[in-house]
Amino acid sequence: MHKSMKAAAITQWGDAGVFQLSQLPVPAPAADEVLIKVAYAGINPADWKMRAGHLKSQLPATDAPLVLGLDASGIVVASGAQVSEFAEGDRVVCASNLFSTGAPGTYAEYLVVSKNKVAHLPGTVSLKAAATMPIAAITAKQALFASDKGNLQPGQKVKIFINGASGGVGSFAVQLAKWAGAEVATSCSSANLDYVKSLGADCLIDYKTQDIAYELSRWAPQGVDLILDAVSAGSLEDPFLLLKPGGKLVSIATLTDDGDVEADMARAQQHGVSKILAFVSDANLGKEMAQLLELVDTGKITTPTAEVFPLDKVAQAHQKLETGHVRGKLLLRLCAERQ
Ligand SMILES: NC(=O)c1ccc[n+]([C@@H]2O[C@H](COP(=O)([O-])OP(=O)(O)OC[C@H]3O[C@@H](n4cnc5c(N)ncnc54)[C@H](OP(=O)(O)O)[C@@H]3O)[C@@H](O)[C@H]2O)c1
């Protein structure tokens, strides 16, 4: 095995130009960790917010090269003494330890992660498709179904509005809500209407040309039961007026653009509804991913469309990410010799 690896690292916070292609040592797995040869790294909006320094209080300093990247797919090449679940050659998908321990992330040829953040891939799911999933899919799943968030029960006849349906989180949220039996209205721009329709949305609202409140009041005259906002505070005018009494607004925490959360929660209460700011937890990502991968394997949901960049084009990928108008997912290709 190689002793050094290629990685896109940063040594200062800043714009997309701060990435440097570096040679770094291949990390060694601890007893409960797995060493993965990365095929594709997922690119998530949190990555540019980290790169720009917005989340620096939660990250290691950049006096040594810092490798970003929260999720990936790849092949297991080694594992620690306490790992019996994974063996060399296994095709897997995972979240990185970057946010939990500050360990290097997935923008590198090799990655060490805790075994509970790894899941086996079914034979039907390619490494490329799998890399679109971890953070986006479990964020959507938890926002819709966790008891302290959307608390959606499969089979429940409810109307859900997903704001920002064409991005990574939205692509999974639309499909998971439909799989659970809900009726789903969505917002996206004109260019993404066909894509969001292909995900199964019942009602499409073009936020560039249509009035969301008016269109939703025609679709759900009593108001909707649940709003999942995957855009930002302020992207919806008066969201509480769109909900039924007792309804919920689950806002995915953007970490940079969440408005005055306490004031919003108080205002929601005055309207007889609630607002929840949702943070994803990847502590049990392996188990949660196994459930989601089964849905993909059995054709209940599909993975989003993805645009792939080679590692040396990471700056271009981040420039695109930062526009906030990605369709589906962006991925970095590391060493994808096997699908
Ligand atoms: N805190 C957490 O635990 C956590 C976890 C995951 C994600 N997040 C956050 O959740 C947000 C969404 O993540 P993501 O991965 O889905 O992002 P993404 O893939 O970059 O998605 C962006 C999508 O938002 C749409 N959009 C932008 N402005 C819109 C508007 N005004 N109305 C409707 N749609 C709009 C864009 O569609 P158009 O091109 O059609 O405009 C694009 O498809 C990000 O802020 C991310 O940081 C937080």
pLDDT band at residue 234 under the 50/70/90 scheme: confident
CA atoms within a 13 Å half-sphere pointing along the CA-CB vector of 179: 20
244-284 pLDDT, tens per residue? 999 999 999 999 999 999 999 999 999 999 999 999 999 99
Q: Treating both helix axes as pointing N-terminal to C-terminal, what angle do 285-297 and 168-179 enclose, rounded to 10 degrees?
A: 70
Ligand 1 centroid vs 269 CA: distance in angstroms? 26
Phi/psi at 42 (5° precision): -75, 145
Per-residue pLDDT band at 63 (split at 50, 70, 90): confident
Element (H, E) at 48: helix 45-51
Q: Residue 336: pLDDT band by 50, 70, 90 thresholds?
A: low
CA 204, CA 286: separation in Å to the nearest integer?
33
**Whether residue 1 has pLDDT greater than 80:** no
Residue of the CA atom closest to atom 13 of ligand 1:
169
Q: Tell me, in angstroms, the distance from the centre of ligand 1 to residue 338's CA.
A: 30
Residues 270 and 68: their CA atoms lie apart, in Å, by 41
What does the pLDDT look like over 82-129, one tens digit per residue?
Answer: 999 999 999 999 999 998 899 999 999 999 999 999 999 999 999 999
Query: What is the C-alpha radius of gyration for the chain, rounded to an integer number of angstroms?
Result: 20
Mean pLDDT of 31-38: 98
What residue type is 255 in one-letter code?
L
Q: Ligand 1 center to residue 324 CA distance, Å?
A: 6
Burial class of residue 246, CB neighbours in 10 A (0-12, 13-18, 19+): exposed
Residue nearest to atom 44 of ligand 1 (CA): 254
- Enter the tokens of residue 51: 């790169």
Residues 232 and 238: beta-carbon distance below 8 Å: no
| Contact between 40 and 303 (Cβ < 8 Å) | no
pLDDT digits (tens, 9 = 90+) for 151-190: 999 999 999 999 999 999 999 999 999 999 999 999 999 9
**CATH fold group of domain 4-133+303-333:** Quinone Oxidoreductase; Chain A, domain 1 (3.90.180)
Ligand 1 touching residue 45 (CB < 6 A): yes
What ligand 1 atom has the least distance to the C-alpha of 280? 3
- The pLDDT, as a whole number, for residue 2 is 75
Closest ligand 1 atom to residue 164 Cα is: 34
Mean pLDDT, the chain, rounded, equals: 96
Q: Residue 93 contacts by C-beta under 8 Å, 6 or more apart in sequence?
A: 71, 72, 73, 118, 119, 121, 130, 131, 133, 134, 289, 293
The answer, yes or no, to whether residue 337 has pLDDT greater than 60, is no
The continuous run of DSSP H or E covering 100 comes out as helix 98-101
Ligand 1 contacts CB of residue 189 (under 6 A): yes
Q: Where do the structural domains in the chain lie, given as residue ranges?
A: 4-133+303-333, 136-278
Residue nearest to atom 39 of ligand 1 (CA): 325
Is the CB of residue 227 below 6 angstroms from any atom belonging to ligand 1?
Answer: no
CATH class, domain 136-278, is alpha beta
Q: Is 172 in the pocket of ligand 1 (CB under 6 A)?
A: no
User: How many CA atoms, within 13 angstroms, populate the side-chain half-sphere of residue 234?
Assistant: 6
Q: Which residues neighbour 285 within 8 Å (Cβ) at sequence distance 6 or greater?
A: 94, 95, 116, 117, 118, 119, 134, 138
Evaluate: CB of 169 within 6 angstroms of ligand 1. Answer: yes
Q: Tell me what pLDDT residue 338 has.
A: 47
pLDDT, position 335? 86
Q: Which SS3 state, helix, strand or coil, does residue 282 take? A: coil
What whole-number distance in Å separates Cα of residue 169 and Cα of residue 212? 20
Indicate which residue's Cα is closest to atom 21 of ligand 1. 167
Distance between CA atoms of residues 290 and 155, nearest Å = 21
Q: Which residues of 134-170 are buried (b: 16+ CB within 10 A; e: fewer)?
A: bbbbbbbbbbbbbeebbebeeeeebbbbbbbbbbbbb
Tell me how far apart the alpha carbons of residues 121 and 127 are, in angstroms, rounded to a whole number: 8
The band of 339, judged by pLDDT with boundaries at 50, 70 and 90, is very low
Closest-lying ligand 1 atom to the alpha carbon of residue 325: 39
Predicted structure pTM score: 0.97
Q: Determine the Cα–Cα distance for residues 161 and 156; give it in Å rounded to an integer.
A: 15
Tokens of 323: 């526009």
Six token digits for residue 53 = 């320094």
Q: What is the pLDDT of residue 141?
A: 98
User: 231 CB less than 6 Å from ligand 1?
Assistant: yes
pLDDT, one tens digit per residue, over 117-145 is 999 999 999 999 999 999 999 999 999 99
Taking the CA of residue 207 as reference, the ligand 1 atom at the shortest distance is 32
